[in-house]
A = this chain, B = another copy of it.
Amino acid sequence: MDAVWRRRSIRKYLPDPIPEEVVIDLLRAAMSAPSAGNEQPWQFVVIRERRLLDEVPRFHAHAQMIREAPLAILVCGEAEKAKFEGAYWVQDCAAATENILIAATAKGLGSVWLGVYPVAERMEALRRLLGIPEEIVPFALIPIGRPAEEKPPADRYDPQRVHYDRW
C-alpha cells in the first residue's frame, strides 16, 4: 500500500474506456471517507458522454485535459445535510475526492483534482450541463483515464512544516 505516497496529478490519458466495476470501486473508495457525524453528505455524477466532457473547458480554464479523458467523476456536496456547526460538508467531500485519487492510483489509473466549489461560474455551468438540482453543490471534478504520462513520486516532505508538542 503506497498509493497515498505515489499519487500525482496526471493530465494525459489514453482513450481506453474504464470498466464499470472499476468505476464502482472508485466510488466505493469515495464513500469510505469519514464524515462529520457520519452524514455522508456526498453525491457523484459519473460523466462518460464525450459531448459533456468536451463542454467543460468552455467554463473551466484548467480543464483542457478532460478532452482526452474517457471519464470524469463530479463529486457533489449536500450542504443541507450539515447538521453540525460549520461547513463540514466541504471537508467531507474533500476527503471523498482524495480517496478517489488514491484508489485510482492504486488501480494504475491517472487522475487530477479540478477545483469547482466555491467558484460560482463553474458550479453554475456544471449544474446546467448535468441537470443538477439547486440544493446540490458541485464540489470537485476528477478526469480519470489510463495514464499517458509517467511521473515519479513527488517527495514533498518538509521538516520545517513539522513542530513537536509546541510551535
- What is the copy number of this chain in the assembly? 2
Contact residues of A between 82 and 141, Cβ < 8 Å to B: 84-88, 90-92, 94-95, 97-99, 101-103, 106, 112-113, 115, 117-119, 130-133, 136, 140
A119 and B85 form a contact (CB under 8 A) = yes
Q: B-contacting residues of A (Cβ < 8 Å)?
A: 1-7, 9, 24, 27-29, 31-34, 36, 40, 42-49, 52, 84-88, 90-92, 94-95, 97-99, 101-103, 106, 112-113, 115, 117-119, 130-133, 136, 140, 153-158, 161-167
**Min CB distance, A24 to chain B, in Å?**
7
Write the chain B residue with the least CB distance to A33: B98
Bound form: Cα–Cα A40–B153 in Å: 16
Bound form: Cα–Cα A132–B163 in Å: 10
